[in-house]
Amino acid sequence: MTSSTTTPKTIITPPLPKPYSSFQLPSKFCNRVTTPSSTSCTLIRDSTSVCMAGLPRPDSFGRFGKYGGKYVPETLMHALTELETAFYALAHDGEFEKELNGILRDYVGRETPLYFAERLTEHYRRPNGEGPHIYLKREDLNHTGAHKINNAVGQALLAKRLGKKRIIAETGAGQHGVATATICARFGLQCIIYMGAQDMERQAPNVFRMRLLGAKVKAVHSGTATLKDATSEAIRDWVTNVETTHYILGSVAGPHPYPMMVRDFHKVIGKETRKQALEKWGGKPDVLVACVGGGSNAMGLFHEFVEDKDIRLIGVEAAGFGLDSGKHAATLTKGDVGVLHGAMSYLLQDEDGQIIEPHSISAGLDYPGVGPEHSFLKDLGRAEYYSVTDDEALEAIKKLSQLEGIIPALETSHALAYLEKLCPTLPNGAKVVLNCSGRGDKDVHTAIKHLQV
Amino acid sequence: MAILSSLKLTTTSGFLQLNTKKPRYPVHHLPSPSQTALNFPIKKLLDELNPRDTLTLTRASNISISQTFTKLKSQGKVAFIPYITAGDPDLSTTIQALKVLDSCGSDVIELGIPYSDPSLDGPVIRASASRSLAGGTKFNNIISMLEDVVSQLSCPITLFSYYNPIIKHGIENFMSTISQAGVRGLVVPDVPFENTQRLRNEATKNNVELVLLTTPTTTTCRMKDIVRASEGFVYLVSAVGVTGARPRVNEQVPSLLREIKEATNKAVAVGFGLSKPEHVKQVAEWGADGAIVGSAIVKVLGEARSPLQGLRDLDTFAKSFKAALL
């Protein structure tokens, strides 16, 4: 299989006139957007809308099978269409691609290494000397310490093209908030971050970082005061300020075009991995593993390989205090289908359809929903989803720190913890690529409370 | 009745509570809906405020939303449509509030199903929903309450519900349940127009009219599709934003109304932000067929010192809006 080019490609589709200025209200023109047809999957070079089992990912309504869509108040519909149109237009814009790649290279520090975790591999070697080979995709080495910045950069550039000067975002662990505040400082954009009051306490270093970077951090006290409430508040801000504001949603959740757009800004992770795998061992990975909160780092790694049926895709969610405790965030394992934050997907809800409070020691996985594309891949059986508890994740932080000298984020630790169950089942020499989605500096004070070191 | 059984669950407090928070008001002040006759203070209040003229009472479930508007139009009147959240401060007060609003001359009453993550609601209605959910309000309780009270109302009820609870209950089941409870209209603010067909089909089968929303950011082309499909009336969201009182009505409303009326003969009601009698008078003068008042009314009822005071204040407040439309 030939590798793709070294420079990360962004997305493509039919060309549309640009630049795209903020619309004046009320608009007098009919906005029938030219998007890939839902009945045919036209595969243009690196097409955004690819297929899986004959179904587009997504179709022109933003659906992945029955998941996805745009379940938002009518006030936002035009902004979503405008966003989608701009996103497709920029796909053919060489200047945009050059600017984006330049920032990813010179500011973010891409490409990130694919690192052979020698001691971790040795740890999982069986007594007969057999075992998988474990590689870590080092998204933790990006500027700001996580994969989140890939999407923040792309969307900030998009917002600039749309003429929006005010940026809002939600954040759980704070990594997406920090990435957004970072890029707003870089571009001189006004930045407001919504964060659950409970998350602000457990991720205090990130709150300070956002404020130091010039962003305003607004505490959200309503509901459970965590990520889902911060997201709901950001949506309400967007409904109110839609004409001046771009909402940089931090994961592959939310209404179309966000799941597709965020995935596409992160797909560089998978593209680099394919090239690096070929360079390192002359082949493809056998298994991909990533933690899943909203699902952005997982989709970023998986997307490139979804059509490689011989590659296993494994997502790991947060089981909190245990799947039967009622205190977890294992949406794909224990949830059922509904609509949250604009998308049809699996979610955790009670018998009346009220969204329930999830629990995870990691703020970034503490979300009762999940990106619709993950729901789609789960139902098709293309991707597998498991979960690990808070305690298992904490053990994994210790393990990677002491075996490889890398302190992972609590979110990433969930993926690492799953290796305990996965590795004994894998054939000798199986190549495992685990997305090391973030570094754990932000989590040390949580780890201090729980770990004996 | 489901309400009776849920009341009996917590014998100490007399009404269902999810947590150990102390009730805001001593329970013996609250009338129990297990009594078909009203508790004396509330009945006395209602009789004082609104002497009942039983001869002109029509049953709320017999008249559709669109028929209501047709009738009002023939009389040259503009509809007054108040919104309250079911279960705030509790369901027994909601029963009385519905009766108060009806006797004040409301033409349609919008009843909100409280939801954990309302994306279109501002702080007042959000707080109202939180109070209701914290008090243990469940969908089945709301339905039982409606089954009790709708026959005593003369104006039709429209429910306001976010989409997820509807999906959870099953669209067919939801529609038939609300219809059997006497509900005649439904507003679902977070379903895009393109995805309303199934809701509309089930609603039609059950004699429920699905009201659609159009907003200042909706393009003209899309607005035309929306108004063509909307049933009952067209809900014009007056402002770009969430629910909540605003000092003035958006100046775009007259031109938005004009555009909509060029596209349809259906009634158009304006909502969001209307918080004073002058506001509803203004939208009526601009050509609206109805005025929806939400947060201002919710605040008066839900944030009062006691349910009884809230009902008194609600009566006065609602009458001031009705007077502005005469």
pLDDT, tens digit (0-9, with 9 covering 90-100), for A288-313: 999 999 999 999 999 999 999 999 99
Strands A114-116 and A133-137, sheet pairing: antiparallel
User: CA A71 to CA B239: how far, in whole Å?
Assistant: 19
Of B121, B195, B259, the CB nearest to A69: B195
Minimum Cα–Cα distance from B133: chain A residue: A354
pLDDT at A27 over 80: no
Percent of chain B whose predicted confidence (pLDDT) is above 90: 77
pLDDT at A23 over 50: no
Q: What band does B30 get if pLDDT is binned at 50, 70 and 90? A: very low
Distance of residue A273 Cα from the nearest chain B Cα, in angstroms: 38
The HSE-up count of residue A37 (CA atoms within 13 Å, CB side) is 5
Distance of residue B186 Cα from the nearest chain A Cα, in angstroms: 15
pLDDT of residue B234: 98
Point out the catalytic residue in the list B102, B110, B209, B315: B110
Query: For every residue of chain A, which 3-state class applies, written as one string?
Result: CCCCCCCCCCCECCCCCCCCCCCCCCCCCCCCCCCCCCCCCCCCCCECCEEECCEEECCCCCEECCEECCCCCHHHHHHHHHHHHHHHHHHCCHHHHHHHHHHHHHHHCCCCCEEECHHHHHHCCCCCCCCCEEEEECHHHCCCCECHHHHHHHHHHHHHHHCCCEEEEEECCCHHHHHHHHHHHHHCCEEEEEEEHHHHHHCHHHHHHHHHCCCEEEEECCCCCCHHHHHHHHHHHHHHHCCCEEECCCCCCCCCCHHHHHHHHHCHHHHHHHHHHHHHHCCCCCEEEEECCCCHHHHHHHHHHCCCCCCEEEEEEEEECCCCCCCCECHHHHCEEEEECCEEEEECECCCCCECCCCCCCHHHCCCCCCHHHHHHHHHCCEEEEEEEHHHHHHHHHHHHHHHCCCECHHHHHHHHHHHHHHHHCCCCCEEEEECCEECHHHHHHHHHHCCC
Closest CA to A348 of A361, A360, A332, A363: A332
**Per residue in A38-60, pLDDT tens?**
333 222 234 445 788 778 899 98
Rg of chain A on CA atoms, in Å: 20
pLDDT of residue B240: 87
Of B133, B192, B220, the CB nearest to A70: B192
User: CA B135 to CA A339: how far, in whole Å?
Assistant: 24
Residues of A designated catalytic: 148, 170, 437
pLDDT of residue B259: 96
Beta-carbon separation of A340 and B164 below 8 A: yes
Q: Measured between beta carbons, which residues in chain A are less than 8 angstroms from residue B124?
A: none
Closest CA to A270 of A296, A236, A244: A296
Question: Domain-by-domain residue ranges, chain B?
Answer: 64-324
Distance of residue B74 Cα from the nearest chain A Cα, in angstroms: 31
Mean pLDDT of A169-184: 95
User: CA A184 to CA A181: how far, in whole Å?
Assistant: 5
Tell me what the pLDDT averaged over chain B comes to.
Answer: 86
Strands ordered across the beta sheet of A245-247: A216-220, A190-196, A166-171, A245-247
Closest CA to A129 of A428, A431, A399: A428
pLDDT at B114 over 80: yes
Percent of chain A whose predicted confidence (pLDDT) is above 90: 79
Number of inter-chain CB pairs under 8 A, A vs B: 142
Query: For every residue of B19-67, which 3-state class applies, written as one string?
Result: CCCCCCCCHHHCCCCCCCCCCHHHHHHHHHHCCCCHHHCCCHHHCCHHH
pLDDT at B255 over 60: yes
Beta-carbon separation of B120 and A239 below 8 A: yes
pLDDT at A18 over 80: no
**Per residue in A65-84, pLDDT tens?**
999 999 999 999 999 999 99
Distance of residue A436 Cα from the nearest chain B Cα, in angstroms: 32
- Residue for token digits 């130091």? A212
Query: For every residue of chain B, which 3-state class applies, written as one string?
Result: CHHHHHHHHCCCCCCCCCCCCCCCCCHHHCCCCCCCCCCHHHHHHHHHHCCCCHHHCCCHHHCCHHHHHHHHHHCCCCEEEEEEECCCCCHHHHHHHHHHHHHCCCCCEEEECCCCCCCCCCHHHHHHHHHHHHCCCCHHHHHHHHHHHHHHCCCCEEEECCHHHHHHHCHHHHHHHHHHCCCCEEECCCCCHHHCHHHHHHHHHCCCEEEEEECCCCCHHHHHHHHHHCCCCEEEECCCCCCCCCCCCCCCHHHHHHHHHHHCCCCEEEECCCCCHHHHHHHHHCCCCEEEECHHHHHHHHCCCCHHHHHHHHHHHHHHHHHHCC
Cβ-in-10-Å burial (0-12, 13-18, 19+) of A325 comes to: exposed
pLDDT at B188 over 80: yes
> Which region among A51-60, A425-434, B296-305 has the lowest average model confidence (pLDDT)?
A51-60
**Per residue in B267-282, pLDDT tens?**
999 999 999 999 999 9
User: CA A434 to CA A134: how far, in whole Å?
Assistant: 7
Task: Among A74, A238, A240, pick the best mutation site for testing chain B contact (most B Cβ within 10 A).
Answer: A74
Beta-carbon separation of B126 and A78 below 8 A: no
Two structure tokens written together for A427: 């054939």
pLDDT at A11 over 70: no
pLDDT at A217 over 60: yes
Q: Measured between beta carbons, which residues in chain A are less than 8 angstroms from residue B237?
A: 74-75
List the Cα angle B129/B135/B141 in 5-degree steps. Answer: 85
Beta-carbon separation of A239 and B195 below 8 A: no
Tell me what the pLDDT averaged over chain A comes to.
Answer: 89
Q: Which residues of A162-187 are buried (b: 16+ CB within 10 A; e: fewer)?
A: bebebbbbbbbbbbbbbbbbbbbeeb
**Per residue in A125-149, pLDDT tens?**
999 999 999 999 999 999 999 999 9
> Which region among A35-44, A387-396, B109-118 has the lowest average model confidence (pLDDT)?
A35-44
Q: Measured between beta carbons, which residues in chain A are less than 8 angstroms from residue B118?
A: 232
Q: Measured between beta carbons, which residues in chain B are less than 8 angstroms from residue A243?
A: 217, 240
Beta-carbon separation of A352 and B219 below 8 A: no
Percent of chain B whose predicted confidence (pLDDT) is above 70: 81
User: CA A122 to CA A384: how far, in whole Å?
Assistant: 25
pLDDT at A370 over 90: yes
Which residue(s) pair with A316 in the sheet?
A291, A386
Task: Among B113, B138, B169, B217, pick the best mutation site for testing chain A contact (most A Cβ within 10 A).
Answer: B217
Threshold 0.90, pTM exceeds: no
| From the candidate CATH numbers 3.30.70.3280, 3.40.1180.10, 3.20.20.70, 3.40.630.30, the one assigned to the domain spanning B64-324 | 3.20.20.70
pLDDT of residue B40: 53
Of B116, B166, B252, the CB nearest to A354: B116
CB A372 within 8 Å of CB A346: no
- ipTM (interface pTM): 0.86
Beta-carbon separation of B241 and A240 below 8 A: yes
Q: What band does B41 get if pLDDT is binned at 50, 70 and 90? A: low
**Per residue in B122-165, pLDDT tens?**
999 999 999 999 999 999 999 999 999 999 999 999 999 999 99
Beta-carbon separation of B166 and A74 below 8 A: no
Mean pLDDT of A366-387: 97
Q: What band does A5 get if pLDDT is binned at 50, 70 and 90? A: very low
pLDDT of residue A290: 98
Beta-carbon separation of A74 and B237 below 8 A: yes
Point out the catalytic residue in the list B90, B121, B209, B231: B121
Beta-carbon separation of A222 and B130 below 8 A: yes
